[in-house]
Amino acid sequence: MTRHRFRLVNVFAESPLSGNALCVFEYGRELSEEKMQALALQFNLSETTFVLPSNIATSRVRIFTPMFEMPFAGHPLLGSAHVVRALGHGGDSIRLETKAGVIPVTANGDVWTLQAKAPHMRPAETTRAQVAAMLGIELRDVETGFMWVDTGSEQLMVPLGSPDAVARCRPDPALLARDTSNNLGHSLAYVWARTGADTVLARFFFLKNGSVVEDPGTGSACANLGGWLIAMESRLPAVFHIRQGEHTGRRCRLGLRVDADKRIFVTGKVVEIGTGEVVLE
């Protein structure tokens, strides 16, 4: 019998039981890839991470959804950095090795900030009408400029004309599967609208077993929004405060900063709520 310690944390949290939940296994090198995937399905959170040794960074992190491994994801890296520091590695300045490269993460207390990779963009092949139908909203709700952006995880970024349009989204799973396949074959879309000069309301949808699931707080999409701002030649530096998760019952608050050098930073508070262990044969 082997015992595997884990910690439960909430990322982008305003209170202990808000934010996006994450399970972090402290010593992933003791687990096979198959067991990592099975444990991610067992916990059935948006993601589960596994901390491993690294020759090029403070630690290496592998990130699994219940269905597949991801090269990069925002809230898992912020939460994993919090655990790596708690294990006595790296202090407030940590570098995490991922399949998308090495990601710098820094802390101010329990508020963590990651620097995303430089973005890659490509046009969306779908039309405004197709995007509107896929989201279950009106054509007039969909702004121009929707595109694929990748700062480590490619996602369809869809600007909408109003917060009301964001709230009215009811994605069709068949159309989401048909119209939003990224470079890894996953169907997902990030929608947002400004609620003020520097505030945004956002939602993130993806498919799981043929059904649409909404993520409470999506750091990779927040980073991709920074890439979208760069692609649209928006005025820089730019700072945004993003509300997400209100339609899931898990309020999240994300910070986005794009500096004058086009570097993208994503910020969120991490709250640890528990520890435990899994016993496996």
What angle do the packed helices 74-86 and 219-231 form, to 10 degrees?
A: 130
Mind listing the pLDDT tens digit for each residue in 30-51?
Answer: 899 999 999 999 999 999 999 9
Q: How far is CA 99 from CA 37, 51, 58, 69, 152, in A?
A: 16, 13, 15, 10, 9
Q: How far is CA 83 from CA 37, 58, 224, in A?
A: 20, 12, 25
Catalytic-role residue among 26, 47, 97, 154: 47
Residue 242 is encoded by which pair of tokens?
């993003």
pLDDT given for residue 184 in this prediction? 81
pLDDT given for residue 47 in this prediction? 97
CA distance 68 to 22: 15
pLDDT given for residue 110 in this prediction? 97
- Phi and psi, residue 260, nearest 5°: -65, -20
With a cut of 70, which residues of the chain have pLDDT below it? none
Domains of the chain: 2-113+268-280 (3.10.310.10), 120-261 (3.10.310.10)
Mind listing the pLDDT tens digit for each residue in 228-263?
Answer: 999 999 999 999 999 999 999 999 999 999 999 999
pLDDT given for residue 281 in this prediction? 82
Catalytic annotation on 34?
Answer: no
Entry field: residues in the chain: 281
pLDDT given for residue 169 in this prediction? 98
pLDDT given for residue 131 in this prediction? 97
Answer yes or no: are the C-beta atoms of 203 and 191 closer than 8 Å: yes
pLDDT given for residue 1 in this prediction? 87
CA distance 171 to 148: 18
pLDDT given for residue 7 in this prediction? 98
Instruction: Provide Rg for the chain, Cα atoms.
Output: 18
pLDDT given for residue 257 in this prediction? 98
- Phi and psi, residue 182, nearest 5°: -85, -170
Longest Cα–Cα distance of the chain, Å, equals: 59
DSSP run (H or E) holding 52: strand 47-52
